């Protein structure tokens, strides 16, 4: 039975520990690289799937409108006013109102219950035009 049991000396144990530690470092490094690669692949395919569902471009007029409203920190009422005005003027792109102060000016000058809100919205988006 003693023939099968081999006693390792202290330097041999240290060498074995160093060899094992070196292998575990490589395994850890390869695992980390594989995890990063898998994460990148998941995000790539998720983004491709999302773009395929929205029509390929990944952005739409609705996305532009939402981004502009967020950039100008518009609340729900102001967003609704812009959408109503775009609908009234039959504008295919509501985001165009962010570059056209005169449409808001006309809405503010027209008689109606929302005229003062359109005036305040024009002032907020464009400031003084004088």
- Residue 5 pLDDT > 60: no
79, part of any domain? yes
pLDDT of residue 24: 74
Query: Mean of the pLDDT values across residues 60-66?
Result: 81
1, part of any domain? no
Which residues form the domain of 112? 61-126
35, part of any domain? yes
- Residue 129 pLDDT > 70: no
Confidence band for 100, pLDDT divided at 50, 70 and 90 = confident
Residue-wise DSSP of the chain: -TTT--PPPHHHHHHHHHHHHHHHHHHHHHHHHHHHHHHHHHHHHHHHHHHHHHTSSS--HHHHHHHHHHHTT--HHHHHHHHHHHHHTT-S-GGGGGT-HHHHHHHHHSSSTTHHHHHHHHHHHH----
97, part of any domain? yes
pLDDT of residue 63: 81
74 lies in the same domain as 114: yes
> What's the number of domains the chain is made of?
2
76 lies in the same domain as 118: yes
47 lies in the same domain as 92: no
pTM: 0.52
């Amino acid at each position: 039975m003693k023939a099968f049991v081999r006693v390792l000396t202290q330097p041999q144990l240290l060498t074995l520990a160093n060899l094992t530690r070196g292998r575990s470092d490589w395994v850890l490094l390869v695992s980390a690289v594989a995890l990063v690669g898998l994460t990148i692949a998941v995000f790539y395919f998720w983004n491709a799937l999302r773009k395929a569902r929205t029509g390929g471009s990944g952005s739409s007029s609705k996305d532009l409108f939402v981004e502009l409203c967020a950039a100008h920190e518009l609340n729900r009422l102001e967003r609704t006013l812009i959408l109503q005005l775009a609908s009234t003027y039959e504008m295919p792109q509501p985001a165009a109102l962010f570059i056209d102060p005169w449409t808001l000016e006309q809405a503010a000058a027209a008689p109606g219950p929302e005229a003062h809100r359109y005036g305040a919205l024009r002032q907020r988006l464009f400031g003084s035009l004088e």
